[in-house]
Amino acid sequence: MAWGCAVAAGPGRLAPLAPLTAIDRPGTPWQRAGLPRQTKPWTTFSVVTAGTEPVLQVDADNSYGNLLHLLPEGTPGTGRHLSWRWRVLQGNPAADLLRKDGDDTPIKVCAMFDMPLAAVPFFERQLLRLARERSGEPLPTATVCYVWDAKLAPGTSADNAFTHRMRMIVLQGPQSPLKAWQAEHRDLAADFLRLFGDESRAVPPVLGILVGADADNTHAQSQAQVTDLVLH
User: What is the DSSP track for 89-154?
Assistant: EE--TT--TTSGGG--EEEEEEEEE---GGGS-HHHHHHHHHHHHHH-S---SEEEEEEE-SSSPT
**Is 30 within the bounds of a domain?**
no
**Is 56 within the bounds of a domain?**
yes
What is the CB-side half-sphere exposure of residue 7 using CA atoms within 13 A?
19
196 three-class SS: helix
**Is 28 within the bounds of a domain?**
no
Which domain CATH number covers 94?
2.60.120
**Is 33 within the bounds of a domain?**
no
Of 145, 111, 109, the closest CA to residue 224 belongs to: 109
Q: Which of the residue ranges 11-15, 138-142, 166-170 would you say has the lowest mean pLDDT?
A: 11-15
Query: Which ranges in the chain belong to alpha helices (H)?
Result: 122-135, 188-196
Assign 8 a pLDDT band (cuts: 50, 70, 90): very low
**Is 26 within the bounds of a domain?**
no
Q: How far is CA 223 from CA 38, 72, 189, in A?
A: 21, 31, 29
Whole-model pTM? 0.91
**Is 2 within the bounds of a domain?**
no
For position 130, what pLDDT does the model report? Answer: 80
Assign 6 a pLDDT band (cuts: 50, 70, 90): very low
Considering only residues 222 and 34, tell me which one the structure prediction assigns the higher pLDDT: 222
Residue 54 has pLDDT above 60, yes or no: yes
**Is 184 within the bounds of a domain?**
yes
Number of domains in the chain: 1
**Is 200 within the bounds of a domain?**
yes
* Full residue range of the structural domain in which residue 186 is found: 40-231
Instruction: Quick: pLDDT tens for 12-49.
Output: 677 765 556 667 776 678 889 888 788 999 999 998 98
